[in-house]
Structure 1
Amino acid sequence: MPNPSSNSARLALAELRRIVDPSPSGQAARSVPSARSKECVLSIRDRKLLDSAADIALGSTSENAVFMHTVLCQVGLPRRAVDGTSFERRSGGASLLVKAGELWDGKQFVQQPVPYGTKPRLILAYLNTYAVRHRTRDIEVGNSASAFLKMLGIQPNGGKRGSYTEFKKQMKALAACTLTIGFNTGTTASTVRGQPVKEFHAWLSNDDQQHNLWPGRIVLSEDYFDTLVTEQHAVPIDIRALHALSGSALAMDIYVMLAERLHRISGGKPVRLNWANLREQFGQEYATDTNGKKNFKTKFLKALVSVQAVYPKAKISQVRGGIQLFSSPPPIPKLV
């Protein structure tokens, strides 16, 4: 007997894909078979989304909650490698400036890149959640990268392009970076500068697969911890959704933005975001010419399909010139 929740999620995803590409060819390529069909043309990633969507449709509990900082729900880290040692993203009157730093490897300070992609986002979700649940700045991350990768829903594998190598690179980049946040309040312009990670304690070993510059302990900075926990700027999100979206940093950023924003819309009036607004907030990595704008719109709508599959409570409509956001329940009730 087919799973009703899975079938509903599958049909919802098919409908969303038809909205994004309403052409006959697009509908045919993305069509979803009936419950009686034994075949499915969906990709492996879509199957993962459907499985997660079906699970999420059954409900969420505190066990499913992880946390992201409010500011990073509005302006995210870069999604691809950055040329140079700094990166800035703006959204309205807020801006995030990320500067790369250095780490001591036992012999010398080594320049790290600006953190980018999906893995720093997953790492931050884990660090934030540990800090919120245990009310401590001292975060234990175990004695092996493999174990930590599995906790984040990433299958460990080696090689120059394997998950272990890239994960270690992004872990060090995140530990070394400095974040500067600028925002406007009325007629006042404010700047807050700090490092999420204050201390990075690592073992020195020749075993590249385990302890070589792998931290047994990370200490969050006092300022970051205070804003996250004491001032309650921790936004609860569903770890199952984050894992399902972990193939796309753009989808992850759209998801956390909606998780932070939709439940704050009041008065019954929707919020309209035009494509210029969305490019400013999410399109830093795209060209500003006509082709770049078209490419961003296509990628954004494709990512939004995935987000809505795992955030079914999100009420969003595509309108001429942009999208509209409606008041919606958060993916998980606020717990802090």
Structure 2
Amino acid sequence: MAEDKPLTKQQKKTVEASALIRQDPPKGNDLAFTHSILCQVGLPRSKPEGREFMRRSGDAWLVVQAGWLDEGNGPVEQCLPYGPMPRLAMAWVSSFALRNKTREIKIGSSANEFLKILGMEPQGARHKTLRTQMHALAACRLQLGFRGRTYNGQPVEQFDAWLRNEDSGQQSLWPGLLVLSEGYYRGLLESAVPLDNRALSALKGSALALDIYAWLAHRLHRIEGRPVLLYWANLRDQFAQEYKGKDPDKDFKKSFLPALKDVLAVYPAAKVQQVKGGILLYSSPPPIPYKIP
């Protein structure tokens, strides 16, 4: 009989977070938020080609266009935001904005502090990724659409670029202030989705897992009556339109199921069942109760 493989560092974190979430109900500091549209159609998960990205899910759709930032010597073309970092950053920024009822968010005094806020180790590669993705996020333009209503704009209205401190050799300082646009902030006030920070921290290594978690948090408690059956083709249209090989549904399924397993570990109230051809979604409590301590 083969021995069980030891758990990876990420698997251990997921197990620890699962035990904590099952044992201790979320308290005030565990509460995070994200925009409801971003729970249905997420940012790119891997580096996309070109300077525009579109994703659709049922009646909801998202278009992201790359932008420009002044990095101290004029305009610099930015890439599209992608991967876990901008998802975690937007959740933190949105949470701060709603908790403090303000569009103006004071960022940590250094990159190290901001990484710690996101639950990440302050390493050189992390700094580079953080700088790239925060600049991309601050510069991008979003169009969010749902059932006849379209939001056009940028989540971030004002952002002072992360400048390199070439003279002192010290770690570059973050700007003191980031300002959300009025439209994006109003959307948060109207339809923000509460999430558990402990779950976000456990899933921070996978953009797909973060997207599945946010989607289930938004979707499951809205189901009434009979469970909802979603086929692999439907799920791929929502989560992974980039899978376009010989058997895209099969390729997507291989990525989706392990990510779903991690999500269900940190969202124990979620009732999701794999069935032939897809998954069944059952009405479930949200990850954050309607009233928390």
Residue 273 of structure 2 corresponds to residue 317 of structure 1: yes
Q: Which amino acid aligns with 1:182?
A: G
2:212 is matched with 254
Residue 38 of structure 2 corresponds to residue 62 of structure 1: no
Preserved contact between residue 195 and residue 221 of structure 1 (Cα < 8 Å)? yes
Pick aligned residue for 1:123 from 76, 89, 92? 89
2:228 is matched with 271
Residue 116 of structure 2 corresponds to residue 168 of structure 1: no
- Report the secondary structure of 1:215's partner residue: coil
- Report the secondary structure of 1:136's partner residue: coil
Q: TM-score, normalised by structure 1?
A: 0.82
Residue 2 of structure 2 corresponds to residue 44 of structure 1: no
* Identity of matched residues, %: 51
Preserved contact between residue 70 and residue 161 of structure 2 (Cα < 8 Å)? no
Preserved contact between residue 95 and residue 183 of structure 1 (Cα < 8 Å)? yes
Count of residues in Structure 1 that have an aligned counterpart in Structure 2? 289
Pick aligned residue for 1:200 from 127, 137, 159? 159
Structure 1: which 5+ residue stretches go unaligned? 1-24, 32-39
Q: Deviations over 1:192-218 (max 9, x none)?
A: 211000000246432576336x32210
| Residues 72/335 of structure 1: CA separation in 2 closer, same or farther (3 Å cut) | farther
1:180 is matched with 143
| Residues 260/244 of structure 1: CA separation in 2 closer, same or farther (3 Å cut) | same
Q: Which amino acid aligns with 2:132?
A: K
Q: Which amino acid aligns with 1:219?
A: V
Preserved contact between residue 236 and residue 335 of structure 1 (Cα < 8 Å)? no
* Structure 1 residue 84, shift from structure 2 partner: 1.1
- Report the secondary structure of 1:199's partner residue: strand
Cα distance in structure 2, aligned partners of 1:196 and 1:334: 27
1:9 is matched with none
> Cα RMSD between the aligned structures?
1.8
- Report the secondary structure of 1:97's partner residue: strand
1:36 is matched with none
Q: Which amino acid aligns with 1:280?
A: D
1:223 is matched with 183
1:37 is matched with none
Q: Deviations over 1:116-169 (max 9, x none)?
A: 0000001001100000000000000022111000011010111xxx11100110
Pick aligned residue for 1:90 from 56, 69, 77? 56
Preserved contact between residue 77 and residue 98 of structure 1 (Cα < 8 Å)? yes
* Structure 1 residue 51, shift from structure 2 partner: 0.5
Q: How does 1:94-173 map onto structure 2 within 5 Å?
A: 94-158=60-124, 162-173=125-136
Preserved contact between residue 137 and residue 219 of structure 1 (Cα < 8 Å)? yes
Cα distance in structure 2, aligned partners of 1:110 and 1:53: 42
* Structure 1 residue 74, shift from structure 2 partner: 0.4
| Residues 110/334 of structure 1: CA separation in 2 closer, same or farther (3 Å cut) | farther
Q: Which amino acid aligns with 1:235?
A: V
Q: TM-score, normalised by structure 2?
A: 0.94
Cα distance in structure 1, aligned partners of 2:83 and 2:172: 23
Structure with the bigger RCO (C-alpha within 8 Å, sep 6+) is 2
